Homo-oligomer: A and B are copies of this chain.
Amino acid sequence: MNKLKEYLNSHEISEIHPSDIAKILKQLDDSEFTDAIKLVPKNLIGDVALALPDRYFDDVVESLSVDELSHAVSELESDDQLEFMQGLGEVDENVASQVFDTLHEDDRQEITKLQTYDEDEAGRYMQLEVFTALKDEIVHDVVKRFAALRKANELENVQNLFITNKENKLRYTVGLDDLLIFDFTKTLKENIEDSDDSFEPKIAYDRDDIKEVVHYFEEYDLSVMPIVNAYGVLLGRITSDDIYDIINEHATEQMYNLAGVDDEAEEDDEILKAGRKRATWLSLNLFTAIAASLVIGMFSNTLESMVALAVLMPIVASMGGNAGTQSLTVVVRQLALGEISQGDAMRIIKKEVSISLGNGILFAIIMGFVAAAWFDMSMLGVVIALSMVINLLAAGFFGAIIPLFLQRMDIDPAIGSTVILTTVTDVVGFLSFLGLATLILL
């Protein structure tokens, strides 16, 4: 807490950054945190709350009155306002509703507007504050207007001027680096016509899938993108900082899906919620593990007459599961990064099968010798070697085919694919190993 005081005293107001405050707050324990939060300048507290990991959000908002909350929200940009109000609604719907009522009419309208979008729609991530002009305006006048807006803190972090027609339909995007070298005495239109450059805007639609928009930013190296509606009317913009967050969130979601974890439940402070979501996946896994055990049960007689099989069978299943997870992870990730195109399915399957077959043969030979020596029975080596080749072949094939199939069905290829895959490798592993043992050894 002294650290925070020190920071606040040693910096000019214009130099204080919400993220710096958040960094200091994160280091504090619970009791210090509650006191320290009171020291944060009230116009920054909204940004600080959003810069902290989600689990701190409750503590911050619970330390503030309705008036303070309302002030905090009014200082935020439109997309952050929505995020803050949603977080607040999850903490206390009643307080959120009171805060909403005390907000300025404009803020209320903007929040309501952004709320109409789904979480996977580009519109949800827009900032509504944009710098616009008509093409017949003289550059000098536009710049003067811009200066006034900047002074009033209405526009931050501007990189482009958006030129619209009178119906607010987007016509051109002019980077400030271009605007700066325009002839200030001429109109925008004249400058554009005189230039060799193209001012054709790269746009995204408010209803576009946000994942597509992120790909667009990545492919075209953009740092800002205007968002328009179906009629081409300019609604707002998405900036690079949103894109960082979304890329990270999607990667987290994907990793968590592969592991059978829910990303939203985990961000919460409530252990019960995260635990319940994890239990859902574990129960599916229990179900498939029992299925694999039923396969083993079919071979009770074989196992009874040769206990070595019980000792060795987990190795076959484990190697299959691991090789399959390797294939699966690579295919899921390359699908997400857009590195696998439509006609690519065959290439991917071939690649994964080749690799897993190659490694299958390699480890079959090694494990064959190990098993034969361990139990002093050469035919046991042959059985485990054969079943290892079969299982790793299945691992590569299903590791590729499962995510490709899910993607084709428009299901996120990370969801549930690990459970399906390990069911396959367990069943194939136990079936081939115990089946071959029954045929060859008994």
Contacts and interface: CB of A to CB of B under 8 A. Distances in A.
8 contacts: A217-B241, A218-B248, A254-B255, A259-B329, A260-B322, A279-B363, A282-B322, A285-B322
A251 to B, nearest CB: 3
Contacts of A251: 247-248, 251, 254-255
A200 interface: yes
A254 to B, nearest CB: 7
Given A282-B359, A314-B314, A29 B343 contact: yes
Contact of A198 (B14, B244, B254, B323): B14
Contact of A314 (B15, B296, B366): B296
A89 interface: no
Interface string A217-235: 1111111100000000000
- 8 closest Cβ contacts across the A-B interface? A251-B251, A221-B241, A259-B329, A240-B240, A310-B310, A147-B181, A176-B176, A275-B355
Instruction: Determine which residue in A12, A245, A290 has the highest number of CB atoms from chain B within 10 A of its CB, and name it.
Output: A290
A42 interface: no
B314 A426 contact: yes
Contacts of A27: 341-343
A219 B19 contact: yes
A241 B261 contact: no
Contacts of A311: 293, 296-297, 300, 303
Contacts of A245: 218
Given A177-B158, A289-B314, A370-B290, A15 B200 contact: yes
Contacts of A296: 310-311, 314
A216 to B, nearest CB: 9
Contacts of A342: 27
Instruction: Determine which residue in A220, A223, A259 has the highest number of CB atoms from chain B within 10 A of its CB, and name it.
Output: A259
A328 B337 CA distance: 24
A165 interface: no
Nearest to A274: B355
A247 B251 CA distance: 9
Interface in A170-212: 175-181, 196-198, 200
A308 to B, nearest CB: 8
Interface in A141-166: 143, 146-147, 150, 155, 157-159
Given A14-B197, A176-B176, A244-B244, A261 B330 contact: yes
A400 to B, nearest CB: 13
Contacts of A155: 177
